Amino acid sequence: MWTDIFLSNKESILKAIDAYKDSLDELSELLEVLNNRDELLNAIKEYKNSKF
């Protein structure tokens, strides 16, 4: 059953996975450069507002 779902929606699933990976990369970059709680919290809020 799941194989049929994945194969019939392959392109959409791959696009969603790529978008998710890009989001994780952006968050990873934030963690690498920000060094305190307030900077990180503000960056996460801005990121959330820009994505949703």
* pLDDT of the residue at 52: 58
Model pTM?
A: 0.67
Domain boundaries, the chain: 2-51
Tokens of 50: 């820009």
Give per-residue pLDDT as tens, 2-52. Answer: 999 999 999 999 999 999 999 899 889 888 988 889 988 888 888 778 765
pLDDT value for 40: 85
- Which pLDDT belongs to residue 44? 82
For residue 51, the model assigns a pLDDT of 65
| 3-state per-residue secondary structure call for the chain | CHHHHHHHCHHHHHHHHHHHHHHHHHHHHHHHHCCCHHHHHHHHHHHHHHHC
